[in-house]
Amino acid sequence: MRKKKKIPHPVIENVEVSSIAAEGKGLARVDNFVVFVDKGVPGDIINAKIIQKKKDYAQAEIDTLVKPSDKRVAPFCKHFGTCGGCKWQHVGYEHQLAFKQQIVLDAFQRIGKIALPDMQPILGCEETVHYRNKLEFTFSDRVWLTREQIDSGETFNRNALGFHVAGNYASVLQIEECFLQDNRVNDIRNAVFQFAIEHQYTFYNLKFHEGLMRNLIIRSTTLDEWMVTVCFAAADMEKIEQMMAFIKEHFPYITSLNYIINTKKNDTIYDQEVITYHGKDYIIEQLDTIRYKISPKSFFQTNSKQAKRLYDIVKEFGNFSKTDIVYDLYCGTGSIGLYIANDCKKVVGIEQIPDAITDAAYNANLNNIDNTAFHVGTCEDILKEDFIQAHEMPDIVVVDPPRAGLHEKVINVLLQAAPKKIVYVSCNPATQARDVLLFSEKYQLTKCLPVDMFPHTYHIENVVLLELKD
């Protein structure tokens, strides 16, 4: 059989990137045809290599940067471009903020089709590196190799501990230095990797589901508490004991050291037993005066300092009073509900992850807060008329759903209950705008404030206030 001749990708010369599109790509127009440019920055003049063409648009990468935009900066991480994180390192931070504000505006104009109030300027991060409190690394026996490495003919160690490569989930990029979390995360990760190599631990193969070392999860708090959780793919207790003893000895500042034996074919740990090898089975975070217990399975905002500022905005928008019954939907470990509890009569939280609810109840006791009630289940299953009757009609509802936004059933129940205010926190302005449109028959959008939780990414948090129409 004859091989098909490989057709080279066409290159369009002197294309100007005009704006930012979804997922942080540059947007250009060529003869009224939309071209999405990977790593394109508004103001760039490029020769665009077309890598995929559809009826109405094309995907492209930069073949030649003819004239760089004045919004470009030099990336600070050597893994930039291959690693799937921090995709906006090449954009000056002040311009990142402007683009994110525009993303929110575009979503509400295009999807919500409703007039926005005067949008407050986006709240940027005071710290743009080392801001995360949690990172998850993957062990793999399929390290990502560059084309140059492959063509060199050299033999490389194929084991890696790092992040999945964007667009190639089966491969993992070996990370030597990451700027997302406190530098100590690099010390722990590199030491664990070196120990595993020297003692001939097998690394996980995602395709064949073989190998012992699977995941390394590192969490930290502003109180300087550290949690390390190692996920193994088999119950090789000799190897497990050896690894855990090494970590304990070499990193005495770790306050919670755990392991998980995960024999499933996926990496989720919510259904797995966590074994505490040393220290406590949790760490403590503090926002303002409120302390939070965080266990290995807990969800908590991954930027603690910015989370406090986000919750302050929720407080401001809600303007809660001591007579208010507040529902906190998708409440997680009760982080928002507990933060506002002292300003309300009662907070009722709903969350589908049982361990998160256990932590929420613990956190309430930890802070001597007795006006909260947390319930396990999905909001669409629990939030019904009988539930509302049992817990009193809400005066204010705070929602912080996943990226998919609110379930239609939840929206319908809230429209029927008609609380005077809805404070909607979202990590996806597109689904938020869609939901706000559905609320518009009864609610007026009165406030909107984007918050940057993740510098050097295109992700954006947005808070809106919906008030019941007269």
pLDDT at residue 5 is higher than 90: no
Fold classified for 134-287: OB fold (Dihydrolipoamide Acetyltransferase, E2P) (2.40.50)
Task: Read off the pLDDT of residues 426-469 as tens digits, 9 standing for 90 and up.
Answer: 999 999 999 999 999 999 999 999 999 999 999 999 999 999 99
Instruction: Give pLDDT tens digits for 352-382.
Output: 988 889 989 999 999 999 999 999 999 999 9
Task: Identify the three-state secondary structure at position 405.
Answer: coil
Among the four given CATH numbers 3.30.300.160, 3.40.50.150, 3.30.300.30, 3.30.460.80, the one describing domain 97-127+303-468: 3.40.50.150
For residue range 164-206, list pLDDT tens digits in order.
887 777 789 999 999 999 999 999 999 999 999 999 999 999 8
Q: Which two tokens stand for residue 250?
A: 């070499």
Domain ranges of the chain: 11-72, 97-127+303-468, 134-287
DSSP annotation of 72: B
Q: Maximum Cα–Cα distance for the chain, whole Å?
A: 78
Cβ(360)–Cβ(340) below 8 Å: no
> 146 — alpha (psi -120 to 50), left (phi > 0) or beta?
beta
Which tens digit of pLDDT belongs to each residue from 375-428?
999 999 999 989 999 999 999 999 999 999 999 999 999 999 999 999 999 999
**Token digits of residue 73:** 């900066």
pTM: 0.91
* Residue 453: closest CA among 423, 426, 432, 431: 426
Across-strand partners of 399? 329, 424
Q: Report the topology of domain 11-72.
A: OB fold (Dihydrolipoamide Acetyltransferase, E2P) (2.40.50)
Cα dihedral value 279, 282, 283, 288, nearest 10: -150
Model confidence band, residue 470 (pLDDT cutoffs 50, 70, 90): confident
Terminal CA-to-CA distance of the chain, rounded, Å?
Answer: 73
Rounded (10°) CA dihedral 141, 143, 149, 155 = -20
Mean pLDDT of the chain: 93
Beta-bridge mates of residue 402: none
Query: What is the phi/psi pair of residue 66, to 5°?
Result: -70, -50
SS3 content of the chain, % helix, strand, coil (to 5): 25, 30, 40
Q: Which of 77, 178, 427, 448 is catalytic?
A: 427
pLDDT tens for each residue of 300-343 = 899 999 999 999 999 999 999 999 999 999 998 899 999 999 99
- Residue 244's pLDDT is 98
Cα–Cα distance measured from residue 283 to residue 176, given in angstroms and rounded to the nearest whole number: 26
The predicted structure's pLDDT at residue 22: 72
Band (pLDDT 50/70/90 cuts) for residue 156 is confident
Token pair for 286? 């503090």
Instruction: Say yes or no to pLDDT of 1 above 50.
Output: no
The dihedral built from the CA positions of residue 80, 85, 90 and 93, taken in this order, carries a sign that is negative
Question: Is there a catalytic annotation at residue 86?
Answer: no
pLDDT category, 7, cuts 50, 70, 90? low
Q: What is the pLDDT of residue 297?
A: 87
11-72 and 97-127+303-468 have identical folds = no
What is the pLDDT at residue 270? 86
